Structure 1
Amino acid sequence: MNAVVIAVCLMLALSFARINVVIALTISALVAGLVGGLDLNQTIAAFNDGLGGGAQIALSYALLGAFAAALSHSGLTTLISHSIIKKLGKEPNSTNTNVVRWTLLVTILAMAVSSQNLLPIHIAFIPILIPPLLHVLSTLKIDRRLIACLLTFGLVTTYMILPIGFGGIFLNDILLANLNNNGLEAVHTQIPKAMLLPALGMVCGLLFAVFVSYRKPREYQIIAPQLSNATTEPGINRKSIVISIIAILATLIVQLQTNSMIFGALAGFIIFRFSGIIKRSIGQDLFNQGVHMMANIGFIMIAAAGFAAVLKSTGEVSTLVASLGDIIGNNKALAAILMLVVGLLITMGIGSSFSTIPIIATIYVPLALSFGFSIPATIALVGTAAALGDAGSPASDSTLGPTAGLNADGQHDHIRDSVIPTFMHYNIPLLGFGWLAAMVL
């Protein structure tokens, strides 16, 4: 059996068995190398070489955690939480509870969508926006699995259809470029149109999560937000709020200018540190608290980079894709579904749809043309095959980001509350609608 299939299935099985994801990735990388024909030393070397690829993201998460901790200490997050709770009234009733519930859901979804285009900060907003809302979410008994689905929908669906921000990178710089480089005469106006039908599958998955799967209340331990020394109720320190807003704007501006979450988060934390809001005596402790909150996510990203490097070093990814031709025969419908399933396996292992396209386009484009798929159908096949697995992969930032925010109080499990819900609600309909797009376009 192909080393990629074995390694990805092993990684998922270990993760679902509550083995730490870092350990699951490391063990699976070792198995992938040995099964893929590498000796032990070559496998370890490939894994070690790949670790550096996740270091930048890991450091970004750590500094974002420190910034989020400083923001929480400033009093702004407490103000947000108390303002929302006041809208519930002293005696919450079904009317105002529903208003606040839907306002929260729509706001979180809108922010997730905006993070890919209007303010292309990707997951940087999650550890800032979500932790201060956890008390409200728990009070309203909103199922956090629903919030994970909302966040992942915004992070993934947006780049699939909107050629702005990260969507421009995915659709034009990566998808279109690789399609053209491999012999498909596509133009940029065809790309979003071809991806609309697969994206409709994501919409169906979201609607099912909202109105069926997670519409019922779920009990959480209610942990009241802590007030900082500079913040009291009902009086909020205005200086702290102003500094917080300045720090948030600085974080966004620096990140957009430098294209680096590291320096964006660093700028925000420095403003907090030297504005007087954070006292020197607690500055180091606050930084350590934030880094600790995000450390697990960072280590997962580092291990995932090593795992992906081993998969690529074995050469088994290309072998897996190339072997499709022998299995399919002349069955066009079977060709479409198998190409999508292989894309799902590859992205689940690598953890990045952006990295999957260059791997599969080389084989998928000639294969699709040989079966008589049209240009829009080929676009849909390759684009959907890459997007599959971004939602639902234990090593994807589309699931790690939501977990980082929702587990700030230790009540949200990465595998059972982020990975499995997003996999079930998005990959299954995406498979169906991606196959349909390939057959009708």
Structure 2
Amino acid sequence: MNAVVLAVLLMLVLAFARVHVVMALIIGAIVGGLLAGLGLAATMESFTAGIANGASIALSYAVLGAFAVAIAHSGLPQAFAGWVTRQAGPDAGVRRTRWLKWGLLGVVLAAAVMSQNVVPIHIAFIPLLIPPLLVAFNRFGIDRRAVACILTFGLVTTYMYLPYGFGNVFLNEILLGNISQAGLDTTGINILQAMGIPALGMVAGLLVAVFVTYRRPRAYADLPVAGEEDTPAVGPVSGYRIAVALVAVVLALVIQIVADSLLLGALVGFAVFLATGVVRWGESGSVFNRGIQMMAMIGFIMIAAQGFAQVMQDSGQVEPLVTATAQVFGDNKAMAAFAMLLVGLLVTMGIGSSFSTLPIITTIYVPLCLTLGFSPLATVALIGTAGALGDAGSPASDSTLGPTAGLAADGQHDHVRDTVIPTFLHYNIPLLLAGWVAALVL
């Protein structure tokens, strides 16, 4: 069996068996490298090279975590969460409570969508918005698996359909850019038309998750957020503190866009809180440390995932996997399209990044699609879907790690059982089917 297939399957089995994701990634990478004939020394050298690529991402997320804690220290998220909780008090009627519940979930969805374009901070909003809202979720009896599906939907569907912010990077720069380099003219292709059917698959998965699978109330205890006891007490929530928080967020956004650096934007935002006294100099160490601790798990997993991805690429087994899969089905367009989508799912599940998967598969998929007679629009839909498949449902994806970081702040949400498995079932299956239909009808 192909070394990439075995490595990814081993990593997933270990993760589902509750072996820590970092350990699962390391073991999977070693086994995959050895099976590919790299040897132990070359495998570890490749893994180490990949780690270096992920270090800057992990550092950026760590500083973003500190910035998020500083925002929480200002009282802004608590003020919003407190308002929602008060509105849903014992005197609130059934109708009002229902409107508040769906309004709150709508806010979460809107925040996830805007994190990809309007305020392109990706998952950095989750640890500052979600933990203060856990009490409100508990009051409404909201199943956190539904919230995980909402967050992942906003993170993934937005960049795979709307060509703005991160979506511009994924769709125009990476997807169309790599397809053009592979020899297919993409002039005049409407990216919204190409990715419309796959996006509808994601919408279908969201509706099933929220209104069918996880619609019933689920009980959670009102437990303190991890690390809360080590955090300096939040001062009185005032207009001044909230105004400073808003200024810091806007300034961090501007710096991030101008300098194209999450790290610099987060540092500037944190400096605003220090300069204005919302976070005192004597408290800065505790606030910064808690932010790093909050995002450390994501950072370590992303570093390990980059190492795993590098080993898979250096193994030389991805191209034979794709080619052999396509050759099995010959001129059968329907079966070949389904096989290419499955390979995309497998690769992204292991790498944990749709953005990294596209360059790997595009150079191979474009000639195959041309040979099989797929239209340019169908080719874009097929490759775009193959790249996006697996982002939801991968233990190493920031689209699942982010929701877990917020929802597990009080220790009542498991990464694999409550985020990975629900998002895999509700998004990868309908996205696979929708992408397959798009490849055949466009």
Scaled by the length of structure 1, what TM-score is found?
Answer: 0.96
Structure 1 residue 177 and structure 2 residue 183: aligned?
A: no
What is the alpha-carbon distance in structure 1 between the residues aligned to residue 359 and residue 77 of structure 2? Answer: 41
**8 Å CA contact 1:176, 1:188 repeated in 2:** no
**What is the percent sequence identity of the aligned residues?**
56
**8 Å CA contact 1:162, 1:192 repeated in 2:** yes
What is the alpha-carbon distance in structure 1 between the residues aligned to residue 254 and residue 84 of structure 2? Answer: 27
Q: Number of residue pairs matched?
A: 438
Matched AA of 2:154: G
**8 Å CA contact 1:208, 1:425 repeated in 2:** yes
What is the alpha-carbon distance in structure 1 between the residues aligned to residue 77 and residue 153 of structure 2? Answer: 24
3-state SS in 2 of match to 1:130 = helix
3-state SS in 1 of match to 2:283 = helix
What is the alpha-carbon distance in structure 1 between the residues aligned to residue 260 and residue 216 of structure 2? Answer: 40
Give the stretch that moved more between structures: 104-113 or 325-334: 325-334
How far has the Cα of 1:169 moved from its partner? 1.4
Matched AA of 1:393: S
Matches within 5 A, 1:314-353: 314-353=315-354
Q: Which runs of 4+ in 1 moved over 4 A?
A: 224-230
How far has the Cα of 1:188 moved from its partner? 4.9
What is the alpha-carbon distance in structure 1 between the residues aligned to residue 272 and residue 14 of structure 2? Answer: 42
Matches within 5 A, 1:389-428: 389-428=390-429
The CA deviation string for residues 396-417 of structure 1, in whole angstroms up to 9 with x for no partner, is 1111111122122222211111
**8 Å CA contact 2:232, 2:287 repeated in 1:** no
What is the alpha-carbon distance in structure 1 between the residues aligned to residue 150 and residue 425 of structure 2? Answer: 14
Matched AA of 1:339: M
Alignment partner of 1:231 out of 222, 232, 235: 235
What is the alpha-carbon distance in structure 2 between the residues aligned to residue 124 and residue 357 of structure 1? Answer: 24
What is the alpha-carbon distance in structure 2 between the residues aligned to residue 100 and residue 208 of structure 1? Answer: 21
Give the stretch that moved more between structures: 180-189 or 383-392: 180-189
3-state SS in 2 of match to 1:379 = helix
Matched AA of 2:132: P
Q: Pick closer, same or farther for the CA change 1:345–1:435 going to 2, 3 Å.
A: same
3-state SS in 2 of match to 1:436 = helix
What is the alpha-carbon distance in structure 2 between the residues aligned to residue 230 and residue 7 of structure 1? Answer: 46
The CA deviation string for residues 84-124 of structure 1, in whole angstroms up to 9 with x for no partner, is 11211342332121111111111111111112122222222
**8 Å CA contact 1:230, 1:240 repeated in 2:** no
Give the stretch that moved more between structures: 157-166 or 179-188: 179-188
Give the stretch that moved more between structures: 80-89 or 24-33: 80-89
Matches within 5 A, 1:27-426: 27-223=27-223, 229=233, 231-232=235-236, 236-426=237-427
Scaled by the length of structure 2, what TM-score is found?
Answer: 0.95
How far has the Cα of 1:229 moved from its partner? 4.5
What is the alpha-carbon distance in structure 2 between the residues aligned to residue 312 and residue 229 of structure 1? Answer: 48
The CA deviation string for residues 293-314 of structure 1, in whole angstroms up to 9 with x for no partner, is 1111110000000000000110
**8 Å CA contact 1:176, 1:187 repeated in 2:** no
How far has the Cα of 1:275 moved from its partner? 2.0
Gaps of 5+ in 1: none
What is the alpha-carbon distance in structure 2 between the residues aligned to residue 108 and residue 92 of structure 1? Answer: 22
Q: Pick closer, same or farther for the CA change 1:224–1:50 going to 2, 3 Å.
A: closer
3-state SS in 2 of match to 1:281 = coil
